[in-house]
Amino acid sequence: MSGMPARTGRAAIDLSRRDLPVDLARVFAVVVVVIVHMLMIGVGYHDGELVVTQPLQQQSWYTAASLFGQVMPLFFALGGFATLTSYQRRVPAPAEFIRKRTLRLARPALPVFVVFALAGWLAYFLGVDPQLVNLTLQGAGTPLWFFAAYLLCQACAPVMVGLHRRHPLATLVVLAAGAVAVDVARRLSGHVAIGWLNFVFVWLFVQQIGFLYADGTLRRRRALTLGAFVGAVAVLAVLLWGGVYNMDMLYNLNPPSVPLMLLGIAQLALLVLLHPLLDRLMRTRPAQLVVFAIGTRLMAVYVWHITCLLLISAIGLVIPHGLPDPGSAAWWKSRPLVLLATFALIFLISLGTARLERAPHVPRRFRAPGLPTVLAAAAVAFLPMFAITDWGMGRWLTLAGLAGLAVALLLLRPRRAPDEGHDSLRP
C-alpha cells in the first residue's frame, strides 16, 4: 500500500492508513450503478413520438448480466468495513456515531429533494402531463432506496459492532435465518409487503460480513475465504437455476432477498482474494488519481447521477436528432458520450456540494444532541426514503422527503451547552 499522499484539488490525502483496494471497489461499485441506470433509462424519439423505455432490460443477455451488475451488496459490505475500522481507531459514543453518519447521508440528499420538489410541482402547475411527471420523478427517485437501507444499517451499527465482537458467528446465523424465514413467509403468504422485513435482515447481514474483512478474519484465513466464495456461488446457482428465486437480481433488490446475501459473500470474498493484485494496481499514480477524483465526491455521484442523466436527455430534446431511438444502434453508440457528459455535470455540481458529505464538528461551548434525539432524527429521515422505496417517488413524497430531511437536520444541530465551563462534546 502506498504511503505517499494523493493530491485532489488543494487537499492531500494520506494513503498510508487506507485500504486502497477498498477505495477502488467502492468507486467501481458506484460507477457500475451509474452505467446500469444510464442503460436502463431510454429517452428518445420513436416514429416521431417521444418515448421513455428501458433498453437494458429488453436485451436477451440482461438477466445473466444482472448477476454481475448488481453490486450493491458489495457496497454495503464495504460500509461494514468502514464502520468497524472507525471503531478500531476510536470507540465513538453511539449518539456521536449515528449523528455523524446521519448527517453524511441527509446533508447531500437535501438539495436533491429541493430540486425534485420544485421541478415536480412546477411541472404540475404548468400543466405538464401528470403521468409524465410521475414517471420522471419515479425514475429520478430510483437510487433513494439506498439512503433508507444504509441509514438503517448505520443506526444499528453500534449494536451490531458489539454483537460482532461477542458473538460473530451466531450473529450471522441469526440474521441469515431471519432472512430465510422472511422469504419463506413471503412465498407462502403471497404478500410482498412481508419481504420488507428483510430490509433489516439482509442488509445487516451484508454489513456484518464487512466486519469480518475489517477485523482481518478473511485476510488471515484465505482458505476459508475461498471456500466462502465457492460455496456462495454454488448455493446461489442452485437457488437461481432451480427456480427458487428470480434470476433477475434487480427483481431481488426491493424487497431484498436471500440471493443478495449470497452475492455479498461472493463479492467480498472475491475482493479479498484479488487484494494483492488490486493493491499493486492502486500503488500506481494514475489509479490513485482516478479513484480519489471520484471517491472524494462519491455521494454526489450517487445522488445526482440520474438527475444529470435526465438533464442530458432534456438537452437532447432541443438538439436536432439529439435523442436517438432508445435501443437502436445509434443509441448504444451514444452511451460513452452520455457517460462522460454525466460525470462532467456531476463534477460541476460537486464543486458546490462536496462539503455536504462531511459532518460538521460541534463548536466549543456547544453540545451534540443525545441518543434519543439522534435516533428520532434518523427515523424521520428514514421513513420518507423507505416510503419512496416501496411506492416510488411522486410529488407528495418529494415534499415528505424534503420535510423529513429538514427536520432531521434541525434535530441534529448542536445546542449551546448549559454550563459553558465544561468542555462540549466534539465528534
Say which residues have a Cβ less than 8 Å from residue 235's Cβ, sequence separation at least 6: 262
Q: Are 260 and 205 in contact (CB under 8 A)?
A: no
Q: What is the pLDDT of residue 1?
A: 36
Write the pLDDT tens digit of every residue in 95-112. 999 999 999 999 999 999
**DSSP E strands: which ranges in 162-293?**
none
Q: Interior CA angle at 11 toward 7 and 12, to 5°?
A: 50
Distance separating alpha carbons of residues 398 and 389, to the nearest angstrom: 12
Long-range contacts from 162-168, C-beta under 8 angstroms, 24+ separation:
164/84, 164/208, 164/211, 164/215, 168/211, 168/212, 168/217
The domain segmentation of the chain, as residue ranges, is 6-413
Q: What is the pLDDT of residue 15?
A: 62
DSSP 334: H
Q: What is the pLDDT of residue 88?
A: 85
Question: Computed from CA positions of residues 293, 89, 149, 355, in that sequence, does the dihedral angle turn out positive or negative?
Answer: negative
Radius of gyration of the chain (CA): 22
Q: Give me the tens of pLDDT residue by residue for the chain, a chain 427 residues long.
A: 334 344 444 445 556 678 999 999 999 999 999 999 999 988 877 777 777 788 999 999 999 999 999 999 999 999 999 999 998 888 889 999 999 999 999 999 999 999 999 988 998 898 888 877 887 788 788 888 999 999 999 999 999 999 999 999 999 999 999 999 999 999 999 999 999 999 999 999 999 999 999 999 999 999 999 999 999 999 999 999 999 999 999 999 999 999 999 999 999 999 999 999 999 999 999 999 999 989 888 888 999 998 899 889 888 888 877 788 888 898 999 999 999 999 999 999 988 887 787 777 788 888 889 999 999 999 999 999 999 998 888 889 999 999 999 999 999 998 887 765 444 444 4
Q: What is the pLDDT of residue 13?
A: 56
Q: What is the pLDDT of residue 370?
A: 94
Distance separating alpha carbons of residues 85 and 379, to the nearest angstrom: 25
User: Could you give the 3-state DSSP secondary structure of residue 51?
Assistant: strand
E strand or H helix at 427, and its extent? none
The whole-model pTM stands at 0.90
Question: Which cell numbers hold the place of 48?
Answer: 416521431
E strand or H helix at 349, and its extent? helix 329-353
Q: What is the pLDDT of residue 419?
A: 61
In one-letter notation, the amino acid at residue 217 is T
Distance separating alpha carbons of residues 309 and 315, to the nearest angstrom: 10
Say which residues have a Cβ less than 8 Å from residue 223's Cβ, sequence separation at least 6: none
- Exposed, middle or buried by CB within 10 Å (0-12, 13-18, 19+), for 340? exposed
Distance separating alpha carbons of residues 148 and 152, to the nearest angstrom: 6
User: Could you give the 3-state DSSP secondary structure of residue 236?
Assistant: helix
Q: What is the pLDDT of residue 128?
A: 83
Q: What is the pLDDT of residue 100?
A: 93
Q: What is the pLDDT of residue 178?
A: 98
Neighbouring C-beta atoms of residue 83, cutoff 10 Å: 24
Q: Are 367 and 415 in contact (CB under 8 A)?
A: yes
Q: State how far Cα 249 lies from the chain centre.
A: 16
Report which of 213, 339, 337 is spatially closest to residue 265, judged by C-alpha positions: 213
Distance separating alpha carbons of residues 314 and 44, to the nearest angstrom: 10
Distance separating alpha carbons of residues 194 and 187, to the nearest angstrom: 9
Write the pLDDT tens digit of every residue in 145-190. 999 999 999 999 999 999 999 999 999 999 999 999 999 999 999 9
Beta bridge partners of 6: 13
